[in-house]
Amino acid sequence: MFKIKSLYEAPEKDDEFRILVERSWPSGVSEDEAKVDLWIKDIAPSNDLRKWFEDSDNWDEFQKKYLNEVKAKKELIKQLKILEKFHNTMTLVYSTNDDEQNSATVLLELLTKPPKVIKTNIPRIHG
């Protein structure tokens, strides 16, 4: 199971495996305080996209652009899915001030939505 949490909230036992999903280390928090088990910088939005979002504040467009970036990083997504098999809870930790419009919420949705069913045109044989 994946969940998200602000880095500025106190770590709890039920966070279990904490993964920082930010490109740079957040200011004002030491590594000991953060209790981060893994830091995946490259899964965070690119600097260009982050700056674009700060200037535009267009959440819908940010989500689309970020999903395009993340989908190109298949190996990182695969790594997270493999780690999920070894941990009951994986907490994606973010450091933005907005608890609803941040890249971790987009990543959480990507990791938790059911896979797409591929439809085929093969006729069913009834018997």
Q: What is the block-wise mean pLDDT of the chain (127 residues), using blocks of 10 residues?
A: 95 96 93 94 95 91 95 92 94 93 94 66 59
Structure confidence at residue 97 (pLDDT) = 87
End-to-end CA distance of the chain: 40
Q: In the chain, which ranges are continuous DSSP H helix?
A: 31-34, 47-56, 59-71, 74-84, 103-112
Structure confidence at residue 126 (pLDDT) = 60
Structure confidence at residue 124 (pLDDT) = 56
Residue that is written with structure tokens 């987009």 in the block:
106
Structure confidence at residue 16 (pLDDT) = 96
Angle (nearest 5°) at CA 17 between 10 and 27: 45
Structure confidence at residue 11 (pLDDT) = 94
CA dihedral 7, 66, 106, 1 (to 10 degrees): -80
> Domain extents for the chain?
2-112
